[in-house]
Amino acid sequence: MNFEALEVVGTKERDRQAKLQGRIFCCTSTACMSAGAGQVHTMLDQAVAVSQSDEFETEVVKTGCMGLCSHGPVVRAEEKDKAAALYGNVNPELAQQIVSRHFPVEEALEEIDSDEPDQSVTPHDIPHFRASLRKAQAKTELDKNIISLEDPFFTKQVRVVLSDTGRIDPDRLEDYLAHGGYQGLAKVLETMTPEEVCTEILESGLRGRGGAGFPSGIKWNFVRQEEAEQKFVIVNGDEGDPGAYMDRTIMEADPHRVLEGMMICAYAVGADYGYLYIRGEYPMAIERIRNAIRAARRHGVLGNKVLGTDFSFKADVRIGAGAFVCGEETALIHSVEGKRGMPRIRPPYPSKSGLWSAPTVINNVETMANVPSIIQNGATWYADIGTEKSKGTKVFALTGHLRNTGLIEVPMGITLREIVYDIGGGIPGDKEFKAAQTGGPSGGCIPAEYLDTPVDYESLTELGSIMGSGGLVIIDDSTTMPDFAKFFMDFCVDESCGKCLPCRVGTVQISKLLDKLISGEGQPEDLDKLDELCQMVQTTSLCGLGQSAPNPVLSTLKYFREEYDTLVQSPETVEAGVK
């Protein structure tokens, strides 16, 4: 298939969608599925099938995440030339009502007596089902499930990576093409040299979204300049931070975007083989990426002579076995090679000697997903979003004590206050905001007095936290910080690979000290010891996991010292003060 043929497929799909009277989008991401979206989707499918008449064409699209995970399952109904309506907490009964409200059943063939709607997910008795749908039309309980699209949760977001998420069927390449998919790849292959691509990415200011924030353009250029017969691209989908699910969602909702970014990267650095390293706990993401690879291969987008050009690229999936440390690039490389995932000393960096000693680019899923948009819209467009040093947007998994939790994409430089109070809808109940924890077990806690800090790489690092991969946990004042720090410390104790001493033994000792403090047996000098031990682990550990493991303790020690002090004086006081 060449560029024109690709265009034709996209246009055809666009025309088909334009002809439809309406479309119902049902979120089938992991979060909504666990809330029962599977049944909702089947019900929608059945109801639409039954209510369809010849001149009335509707389809049900199963999409990836729409963002508002706390209100799942989420369904969006779009009628032709009308504003879309979004419904939250949908169950099969409400699904019937949604269909009958937007796409009413013309006539009931048979009157039925029962007031109970037919909730069987596979209706054998179609007339009965139609009647039930007709009855549902009259009901109004659906109104309280309507979510306003004017809510700050949506209006404050800027969606670049997530622009198609929740709007396309992740299992259909045609749908992605209809939304401008693979245009970036086509542009790169047709009009740009690898060097130009690297420059474009560099000028866009895109920085690694895995947490460290290394400029991607520089990384790509390193690999491009290496002279080697074989180079690799690896997409890091081993998202291990507790509470973070940005990469999972992107892979589930828009797998082709990740593939496209990966291929643009491969073209830029001169690689012809790539691996998507996905953690085994994400079966749906693995399945959808695999489907995407198959579809892309079938359409000639992936494989030998991509779209009729001289560029060839093959992609493969590698599944992680549940080690947190495999998110570290050298450990990940070992894992892809089939070895035990343990980090190694750097340099040499993977850009010089990576997978099987070949120069390798490793980028996070979100970083790769940014690439197609940058190429399509240009570096300047992207650089206009965000702050001076942190460009573009960042996807966060917003969790914790908030009214709205879910997946959000915000421009860099937005303040924490906007995220917490506008997008997140504030703290529920009569509780107060206490701290925001960014970056998972590698990050730190940011107290209320820094709520107006812009969220970008530099500002967060200055506060002793990190941008991290995008986990953002909001804590209210019912949480005691030493307990909170202990949770993350225990996570690091369990996930330490055992290779280097400070991380393996140091984290255990920090955890023991925290235990001692929390149980009320701590002495004032234990606090100094805790601080010293944290500093030591931070400066002497081998990889990023160990170096950042003490961050939750250090940052809570810095901002919530009084809680630790009270523990040392009298544990009962702090308990009483908080609860």
Partner 1 sequence: MTLTQSNTIEQKEVFLELTIDGQTVQTRPGSTVMEAALANNIDIPRLCYHPELSVSGGCRLCVVNVEGYPNPTPSCGLACEDGMSIQTQNEELFQTRREIIDLFVAEHPLDCVTCDKAGSCQLQKYAYEHNIKETSHAFELPRTLYQDDNPFFVRDHQYCILCGRCVRVCDEVVGAHAIDFAGRGFECHIATPFDGPMKDSACVFCGNCVQVCPTAALNPVSRMGKGREWELERIKTICGYCGVGCQLEYALKDGEILYAQATSDGPVNGEMLCTKGRYGWDFATDPQRLTSPMLRRDVAYEMGLTKEDWTLPEESPLKVRKPNIEDSFVPVDWDTALDLVADKLADTVKEYGPDSVMGLASARCTNEENYLFQKLFRLGIGTNNLDHCARL
Q: Which residues are within 8 A (CB) of 144 and not within 5 positions of it... i.e. 6 or more apart?
A: none
**Closest of 268, 509, 503 to residue 372, by C-alpha:** 268
Residues 327, 240: contact at Cβ < 8 Å?
A: yes
**Residue selected from 364, 541, 548, 551 as contacting partner 1 according to rule CB under 8 A:** 541
Nearer of residues 16 and 512 to partner 1, judged by Cβ: 512
CA distance 129 to 118: 6
CA distance 76 to 468: 31
Farthest CA pair distance, the chain: 81
Nearer of residues 260 and 526 to partner 1, judged by Cβ: 526
Partner residues linked to 86 by β-bridges: 76, 147
Q: How far is the CB of 540 from partner 1 (least distance, A)?
A: 5
Nearer of residues 14 and 346 to partner 1, judged by Cβ: 346
Q: Near partner 1 by CB under 8 A, which window of 171-179, 248-256, 383-391, 501-509? A: 501-509
Q: How far is the CB of 336 from partner 1 (least distance, A)?
A: 17
Q: How far is the CB of 512 from partner 1 (least distance, A)?
A: 5
Dihedrals phi, psi of 225, to nearest 5 degrees: -80, -15
Q: How far is the CB of 500 from partner 1 (least distance, A)?
A: 5
Q: How far is the CB of 129 from partner 1 (least distance, A)?
A: 52
Binding track, positions 279-318, relative to partner 1; x by CB under 8 A = ----------------------------------------
Q: Near partner 1 by CB under 8 A, which window of 180-188, 369-377, 455-463, 535-543? A: 535-543
**Residue selected from 509, 520, 531, 558 as contacting partner 1 according to rule CB under 8 A:** 509
Q: Does 427 bind partner 1 (CB under 8 A)?
A: no
Q: Does 539 bind partner 1 (CB under 8 A)?
A: yes
Q: Does 542 bind partner 1 (CB under 8 A)?
A: yes
CA atoms within 13 A on the CB side of 419: 39
**Residue selected from 504, 520, 531, 568 as contacting partner 1 according to rule CB under 8 A:** 504
**Residue selected from 493, 514, 530, 534 as contacting partner 1 according to rule CB under 8 A:** 493
Q: How far is the CB of 485 from partner 1 (least distance, A)?
A: 17
Q: What is the footprint of partner 1 within residues 347-366 (CB under 8 A)?
A: 347
Nearer of residues 116 and 528 to partner 1, judged by Cβ: 528
Q: Does 321 bind partner 1 (CB under 8 A)?
A: no
Q: Does 389 bind partner 1 (CB under 8 A)?
A: no
Q: Near partner 1 by CB under 8 A, which window of 121-129, 382-390, 461-469, 503-511? A: 503-511
Nearer of residues 263 and 325 to partner 1, judged by Cβ: 325
- With b meaning 16 or more CB within 10 Å and e meaning fewer, what string describes 256-287? bbbbbbbbbbbbbbbbbbbbbbbbebbebbbb
Angle at alpha carbon of residue 327, lines to 322 and 331, rounded to 5°: 90
Q: Does 521 bind partner 1 (CB under 8 A)?
A: no
Residues 128, 114: contact at Cβ < 8 Å?
A: no
CA distance 292 to 104: 35
**Residue selected from 262, 268, 500, 527 as contacting partner 1 according to rule CB under 8 A:** 500
Q: Near partner 1 by CB under 8 A, which window of 312-320, 389-397, 431-439, 538-546? A: 538-546
Nearer of residues 284 and 505 to partner 1, judged by Cβ: 505
What tokens does 161 get? 């990576």
CA distance 550 to 553: 5
What tokens does 271 get? 């690689």
CA atoms within 13 A on the CB side of 469: 25
What tokens does 569 get? 């004086």
Q: How far is the CB of 492 from partner 1 (least distance, A)?
A: 8
One DSSP character per residue, 208-275 reads -TTTT--BHHHHHHHHHHS--S--EEEEEE---STT--HHHHHHHH-HHHHHHHHHHHHHHHT--EEE
Residues 265, 368: contact at Cβ < 8 Å?
A: yes
Q: How many residues bind partner 1 (CB under 8 A)?
A: 30
Q: What is the footprint of partner 1 within residues 325-344 (CB under 8 A)?
A: 325, 340, 342, 344
CA distance 27 to 123: 22
Q: In what order do the strands lie in the sheet with 22-27?
A: 58-63, 22-27, 75-79, 85-87, 146-147
**Residue selected from 212, 284, 385, 505 as contacting partner 1 according to rule CB under 8 A:** 505
Q: Are strands 75-79 and 85-87 parallel, antiparallel or unpaired?
A: antiparallel
Q: Does 512 bind partner 1 (CB under 8 A)?
A: yes
**Residue selected from 496, 548, 551, 555 as contacting partner 1 according to rule CB under 8 A:** 496
**Angle, in degrees to the nearest 10, between helices 216-225 and 194-204:** 160
Q: Does 499 bind partner 1 (CB under 8 A)?
A: yes
Q: Does 506 bind partner 1 (CB under 8 A)?
A: yes
**Residue selected from 14, 540, 558, 571 as contacting partner 1 according to rule CB under 8 A:** 540
Residues in contact with partner 1 by CB under 8 A are 323, 325, 340, 342, 344-347, 493-502, 504-509, 512, 536, 539-542
